[in-house]
């Protein structure tokens, strides 16, 4: 083998590399930082892989109530939303259980829990949520500011959801039982509250 040729990894090395990459993605989920795993997922990382505790990425995002992450994962065709969680539930069942557990929490938390159920249950909601983030990712790449994920992506989500919020996306659809909102309107309301809260936290000085 010539000095310029690369040696192919063994199956053990590939598994080790995949495990390391998976742990990095999990850290991104814990930090609610989509930018840290956006490219690994699109470059072939297995989104259905389980960690040593048998937990999938989607299950972790639901348990941590990471609405943006759930929206991102739920929109990926390769993510199997029928895969049982480590507790034997499917993701939708687990999301609904979390919503019940958080029913008495702060209103923002309740809205987030309900938004997660909507994102998993309604493919159109997840696709629309993802479309907004794709616009955001493209904008941040052009500005070379992808790591400034934080609140900025939510602006794009709110913009796209706002177009559909008042029934254009789901004319005649069933409304949310808790707040009498269509899924799109519920997501729009959640995003709006997130932006307001974060703007207040930054003294209203954040810009796109």
Tens-digit pLDDT profile for residues 32-77: 887 777 788 888 899 999 999 999 999 999 999 998 889 889 988 8
Q: Please report the pLDDT score of residue 170 as a whole number.
A: 40
Q: Please report the pLDDT score of residue 201 as a whole number.
A: 46
Q: Among 47-61, 87-101, 114-128, 175-189, which is the least confidently predicted range?
A: 175-189
Q: Between the ranges 118-127, 136-145, 174-183, where is the mean pLDDT highest?
A: 118-127
User: Is residue 20 classed as helix, strand or coil in its secondary structure?
Assistant: helix
* pLDDT bucket at 202, cuts 50 / 70 / 90: very low
Instruction: Locate 3 and state its tokens.
Output: 């000095």
* pLDDT bucket at 126, cuts 50 / 70 / 90: confident
In the chain, count H helices and then E strands. Answer: 9, 0
pLDDT at 105 exceeding the cut of 50: yes
**Domains in the chain with CATH codes:** 12-201 (1.25.40)
Q: Please report the pLDDT score of residue 206 as a whole number.
A: 39
For tokens 């799109």, name the residue. Answer: 184
Q: What is the mean pLDDT of the chain?
A: 73
Would you give the end-to-end CA distance of the chain in angstroms? 51
Q: Please report the pLDDT score of residue 100 as a whole number.
A: 96
pLDDT: is 117 or 134 the higher one? 117
Q: Please report the pLDDT score of residue 152 as a whole number.
A: 45
pLDDT: is 149 or 70 the higher one? 70
Half-sphere exposure of 48 (CA within 13 A, CB side): 11
Q: How many residues does the chain have?
A: 208
Helix, strand, coil fractions of the chain, as percent rounded to 5 = 60, 0, 40
């Amino acid at each position: 083998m010539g000095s310029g040729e690369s040696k192919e990894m063994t199956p053990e090395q590939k598994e080790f590399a995949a495990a390391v990459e998976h742990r990095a993605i999990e850290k991104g989920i814990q930090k609610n930082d989509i930018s840290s795993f956006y490219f690994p997922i699109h470059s072939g990382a297995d989104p259905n892989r389980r960690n040593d505790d048998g937990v999938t990425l989607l299950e972790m995002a639901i348990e941590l109530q990471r609405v943006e992450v759930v929206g991102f994962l739920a929109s990926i065709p390769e993510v199997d939303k029928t895969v049982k969680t480590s507790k034997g539930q499917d993701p939708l069942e687990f999301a609904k259980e979390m919503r019940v557990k958080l029913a008495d929490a702060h209103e923002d938390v309740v809205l987030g829990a309900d938004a997660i159920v909507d994102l998993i249950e309604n493919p159109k909601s997840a696709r629309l949520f993802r479309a907004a983030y794709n616009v955001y990712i493209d904008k941040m790449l052009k500005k070379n500011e992808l790591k400034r994920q934080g609140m900025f992506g939510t602006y794009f989500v709110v913009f796209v959801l706002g177009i559909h919020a008042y029934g254009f996306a789901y004319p005649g659809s069933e409304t949310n039982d808790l707040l009498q909102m269509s899924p799109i309107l519920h997501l729009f309301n959640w995003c709006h509250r997130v932006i307001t809260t974060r703007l207040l936290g930054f003294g209203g000085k954040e810009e796109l």
